Amino acid sequence: MLYGQLGEKLGSEVDLDLPSGTDTVARLRTVLAKQFPEATGDFLQLTRACVADMIVSDDYPLAGAQGVEFFPPLSGG
């Protein structure tokens, strides 16, 4: 799932067949940046990744993950 400006660019959900070896959030970011050049900065720099409702680091393993959400900067209040 994608939110905010990123969701507006690409749609709220993208479903991809990932190349083999896409086993961490960092590698997923690289794949997505290549697949969606208009959102390279979003995937490589501006977003936080979230798996199973927890913010995760770039070395988080994707094995078993049902999906990854990307959060642009938050802005409440």
Partner 1 sequence: MRCTTYLAAVRFDLSAEYAAFQSSLDWAGAIVTFVGVARPRAVAGGKLVGLFLEHHPRLTEVSLRDIAEHAGRRFDVEAIRVVHRRGNVAHGEPIVFVATAALHRRAAFEATEYAMDRLKTEAVFWKREDAVDGSRWIEPTMIDHLDRARWSE
Which residues of this chain interact with partner 1, rule CB under 8 A? 3-5, 7-8, 50, 53, 69, 71-77
Residues ≥6 apart with Cβ < 8 Å to 18: 28, 31
Q: Measured from the CB atom, is 63 or 74 closer to partner 1?
A: 74
Give the shortest CB-77-to-partner 1 separation in angstroms: 4
CB 49 within 8 A of CB 69: yes
Q: Measured from the CB atom, is 8 or 23 closer to partner 1?
A: 8
Q: Measured from the CB atom, is 64 or 73 closer to partner 1?
A: 73
Query: Helix count (H) and strand count (E) of the chain?
Result: 3, 3
